[in-house]
Structure formats: structure tokens, C-alpha cells
């Protein structure tokens, strides 16, 4: 079920900060009241599509930060695995240089609560607990506002990488709605015309476009 319009599931877990420091009780609650959050899941450390996305978020980190948005990544790996990958140079398939938090979800409970776990637990005919599917997270991305409410979510299958610029566009759209009370039509970008959420507003926008 979609989390849009609902409070983002809370958690407290280990994470790696600034590419080098492990903390034991990381939570998104620290951002409530003063920052929006782009919280994204990726399938696994030391893989192939994942480093391209993680590094792409890092390349755009300044764009998010100047908009008052925190970027936080997560996977079902341990904090030690995150740390080792963060210490690995890009030339060797690593993500050295990433400074935003990477959350460890080894228990897979966070991915489950956000609806992005690529499988589920079940019991076989012998009554044994098994896992059906892939024990990793889909490429889920969640835009969470300052009140802790999910305003947008996108979930990609494992081989489908994200467009980071689209997340920046969605942040801009959210901020425009909050500031001006207008709605953002298809393909809206910062600097383009939005419209009022009325029949007259839609008619005027369509007549000009």
C-alpha cells in the first residue's frame, strides 16, 4: 500500500555518517520541523547499478541542501558493509566520497515497513520459515516533508536506475505548492507557470498552453 499522505515509518538503527563514522541510533526524526528528506533504498552494497545512483545523489547533494533537503540512503546491508564500500575507491567499484548518511537495515524491517522489500517471509510445507523472493530492497524513493509526511514515492524494480534530476524537480514542485498554494501541472519545472486548483485556473492554463 502507498505511504503517500501518511507519516513516514519511524526507525532507529545504525548508519554511517560522513563516509566514516558509525552511529548506533540514527533516525529521520532529527529532521522533523526543519528539513525535508529524500529517503532512498538501494538493493545491495558492492553491486553495479547501485553505485551509479549513490554517487549521482552525492553529485547533486549541494542542490538538495540549498533547498533545505537532507538525502539519506538505505539498504539491507550492515553498517560494516557500508563502511567498507565507502572506503573503496570509485575506480574499484566503490563509493568513496559519499558524505550523506547510509542506513543499515540488516533486519530488513525498515524496507518491509516502507513496502520496498523484494520478497516476503512464508512457511513451507514442513512448517519452516522461508523467504520467497530477493532479500534486498527495491529502488524505493520517498520525499518526506518537514512534518514527517510522505508526499511522493517511487519504487523501481532492481535493474531500473533512478533519475536524480527528477527528484530535484519534485522537491521544487512541493516547495512551490507550499509557498504559493498553486498546483503543478504535467512537466512543470521551477520557473514555469503553475495554476490554481480551480476550474477557472485549469481553463486559463490550458488556454495559454
Summarised one tens digit per residue, pLDDT across range 122-170 is 999 999 999 999 999 999 999 999 999 999 999 999 999 999 999 999 9
Fold category of 13-162 in CATH: Glutaredoxin (3.40.30)
**Beta-ladder partners of 23:** 15
Please choose, from the candidates 194, 189, 160, the residue with its C-alpha nearest in 3D space to the C-alpha of residue 177: 194
Enumerate the domain spans of the chain: 13-162, 163-209
Spell out the residues 6+ positions from residue 134 whose beta carbon is closer than 8 angstroms to its own.
43, 118, 119, 158
58-105 pLDDT per residue, tens: 999 999 999 999 999 999 999 999 999 999 999 999 999 999 999 999
Which single residue is written with the C-alpha cell 545504525? 14
Which residues are part of the catalytic machinery?
50
Amino acid at each position: 500500500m502507498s505511504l503517500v499522505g501518511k507519516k513516514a515509518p519511524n526507525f532507529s538503527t545504525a548508519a554511517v555518517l560522513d563516509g566514516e563514522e558509525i552511529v548506533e541510533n540514527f533516525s529521520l526524526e532529527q529532521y522533523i520541523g526543519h528539513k525535508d528528506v529524500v529517503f532512498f533504498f538501494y538493493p545491495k552494497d558492492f553491486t553495479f547499478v547501485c553505485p551509479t545512483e549513490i554517487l549521482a545523489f552525492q553529485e547533486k547533494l549541494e542542490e538538495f541542501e540549498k533547498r533545505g533537503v537532507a538525502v539519506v540512503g538505505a539498504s539491507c546491508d550492515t553498517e560494516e558493509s557500508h563502511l567498507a564500500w565507502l572506503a573503496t575507491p570509485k575506480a574499484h567499484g566503490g563509493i568513496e566520497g559519499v558524505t550523506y548518511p547510509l542506513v543499515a537495515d540488516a533486519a530488513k524491517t525498515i524496507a518491509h515497513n516502507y513496502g520496498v522489500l523484494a520478497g516476503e517471509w512464508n512457511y513451507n510445507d514442513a512448517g519452516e520459515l522461508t523467504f520467497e523472493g530477493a532479500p534486498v530492497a527495491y529502488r524505493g524513493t520517498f520525499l518526506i516533508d518537514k512534518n514527517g509526511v510522505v508526499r511522493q514515492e517511487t519504487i523501481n524494480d532492481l535493474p531500473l536506475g533512478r533519475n536524480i534530476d527528477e527528484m530535484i524537480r519534485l522537491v521544487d514542485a512541493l516547495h512551490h505548492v507550499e509557498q504559493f498554494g498553486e498546483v503543478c501541472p504535467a512537466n512543470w519545472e521551477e520557473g514555469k507557470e503553475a495554476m490554481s486548483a480551480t476550474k477557472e485556473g485549469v481553463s486559463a492554463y490550458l488556454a495559454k498552453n
